[in-house]
Amino acid sequence: MSITTPAGFRAAGVAAGLKSTGAKDVALVVNDGPTFTSASVFTANRCQANPVLWSKEVVKDGTVKAVVLNSGGANCYTGADGFQTTHATAEKVGELLGVGAIDVVVCSTGLIGMKNDRDDLLAGVENAAAGLSAEGGAEAAEAIMTTDSVSKQAVVEGAGWSIGGMAKGAGMLAPQLATMLVVITTDAVVSAEDLDTALRAATRVSFDRLDSDGCMSTNDTVTLMASGASGITPPLGDFTEALTQVCTDLAMQLLKDAEGADHEIAISTINAASEDEAVEVSRSVARSNLFKAAIFGNDPNWGRVLASIGTTGAQFDPADLDVAMNGIWVCRNSTPDADPETVDLTGREVSVTIDLKSGDARATVWTNDLTHAYVHENSAYSS
């Protein structure tokens, strides 16, 4: 049930001393082939960390043979010296595996503006390479954790092929990815072009619709590698559906483990003129600190929902909006309807449904509530 479930992959996770706690902090995932096709997506932030700058070059030809990841330091805003650390990491992996450094994706996560100790990191890479095994997936998933309270893994089985994934991230989740590292493996035979199509379709409705706190990270990377070891080429539709399941499963694990959150909130906009407008409306609510604080207080404050919808450019009649919370229509035609007292928000899962009455498109964006623990974690610790 990990990234080493699909045939053709080995992985390892070791402690290299980058984390002051002594916990595992270097992971290595290797594709042993016979194919080495891949696809990746990266943060849309223009201020990108050194490993992102490097890895974007690596993935251009559709070939990736290994992914090396470290926690304990993001290697972001660390200048030319930081880039050299990333490059040296890829070189070391290439040397140990007998592959080109230019086929090695590098991911880092942790504090921004702090250099990783290059010697510690490279020694960790050496240990990880020595410990590679077809049972190493769980260890690798553990080694990429930062403020995560649990490691995140998912597997979906196809007909003779499978997809495995691991993810880290427990906050800073935002549109178009955020401090999130994801590695996905498959033993299906899929061209790089089809992997790219499938990955973009899958991330568009999963990771891209997580918006925990509206912030966008500098290091986000999702890399998908196909070993072809099953010898099976599934129909692209089947593959995309399974990949979407893996991504959605991982995204929901990230949502549930978001820093300091008390509630997982699914904001669905229905009957929108277009899917883009449905996303825009749901995201505007997901970004409202007032709304998120209200949910923390178990207050079904639909007025704050309407106030957020009103900031968007979507098609709707401001006097004819309906809003349900946990299935109870507390607002119809932009006026009070069911008694908000009948809405029970004490459970972790909260649903908000917004009916725009302007078409037949829909979309869901997931977010968390704004809690004392969020403020505490993000004021007491740097990242």
Catalytic residues: 179
By CB under 8 A, tell whether 296 contacts a second copy. yes
Beta carbons of 227 and 185 less than 8 angstroms apart? yes
Which residue in 101, 154, 155, 172 binds a second copy (CB under 8 A)?
172
Is 168 marked as a binding-site residue?
Answer: yes
Q: Is 324 a binder of a second copy (CB under 8 A)?
A: no
From the CB of 82, what's the least distance to a second copy, in Å?
8
Q: Which is nearer to a second copy, 82 or 136 (CB)?
A: 82
Q: Which of 60, 200, 348, 372 binds a second copy (CB under 8 A)?
A: 372
Contact range with a second copy by CB under 8 A, out of 30-38, 59-67, 233-241, 300-308: 300-308
User: Cα–Cα distances in Å, from 49 out to 2, 32, 114?
Assistant: 27, 28, 11
CB of 65 closer than 8 Å to CB of 92: no
Among 71, 218, 221, 282, binds a second copy (CB under 8 A): 218
Q: Cα torsion at 88, 90, 91, 96 (round to 10°)?
A: 120
User: Contact region for a second copy (CB under 8 A) — 92-100, 126-134, 333-341, 346-354?
Assistant: 333-341
Strand locations in the chain, DSSP E?
A: 9-14, 26-31, 37-42, 66-70, 104-108, 152-157, 162-168, 181-186, 221-226, 264-272, 322-325, 328-332, 335-336, 349-355, 361-368
Is 249 an interacting residue with respect to a second copy (CB under 8 A)? Answer: no
Is 56 one of the annotated binding-site residues?
no
Hey, what are 29's tokens? 């995932």
Is residue 334 involved in binding a second copy (CB under 8 A)?
yes
One of 20, 21, 335, 346 touching a second copy (CB under 8 A): 335
Out of 215, 236, 338, 361, name the contact with a second copy by CB under 8 A.
215
- Nearer to a second copy among residue 199 and residue 370 (C-beta): 370
Among the listed ranges 186-194, 249-257, 313-321, 344-352, the one in contact with a second copy (CB under 8 A) is: 313-321
User: Does 147 show up as a binding residue in the annotation?
Assistant: no
Among 223, 206, 221, CA closest to 38: 223
Least distance to a second copy, CB of residue 151, Å: 23
What 8-state DSSP symbol labels residue 60?
G
Q: Is 247 left (phi over 0), alpha (psi -120 to 50) or beta?
A: alpha
Q: Which is nearer to a second copy, 64 or 261 (CB)?
A: 261
Residue 79 contacts a second copy per CB under 8 A: yes
Query: Does residue number 100 form part of the binding site for a second copy (CB under 8 A)?
Result: no
**Smaller CB distance to a second copy: residue 241 or 299?**
299
Residue 68 DSSP code: E
Nearer to a second copy, 192 or 285 (CB): 285
Identify the sign of the CA torsion 373, 378, 380, 383.
Answer: positive
- Please tell me whether residue 269 binds a second copy under the rule CB under 8 A: no
| Cα–Cα distance, 38 to 65 (Å, whole number) | 9
Neighbouring residues of 80: CB distance < 8 A, sequence distance ≥ 6: none
DSSP readout, 319-354? TS-EEEETTEEEEETTEE-S-GGG----SSEEEEEE
Cα separation, 97 vs 381, whole angstroms: 37
Identify the CA nearest to 226 among candidates 205, 242, 250, 207.
242
* 179 annotated ligand binder: yes
Q: Is 113 in the site for a second copy (CB under 8 A)?
A: yes
User: CB neighbours of 378 closer than 8 A, spacing ≥ 6?
Assistant: 171, 259, 260
The annotated binding site for substrate is made up of 146, 168, 179, 259, 378, 383
Binding site residues, a second copy, CB under 8 A: 44-48, 76-79, 111-114, 172, 213-218, 287-290, 293-294, 296-297, 299, 301-304, 306-312, 318-319, 321, 331, 333-336, 370-372, 374-376, 378-380, 382-383
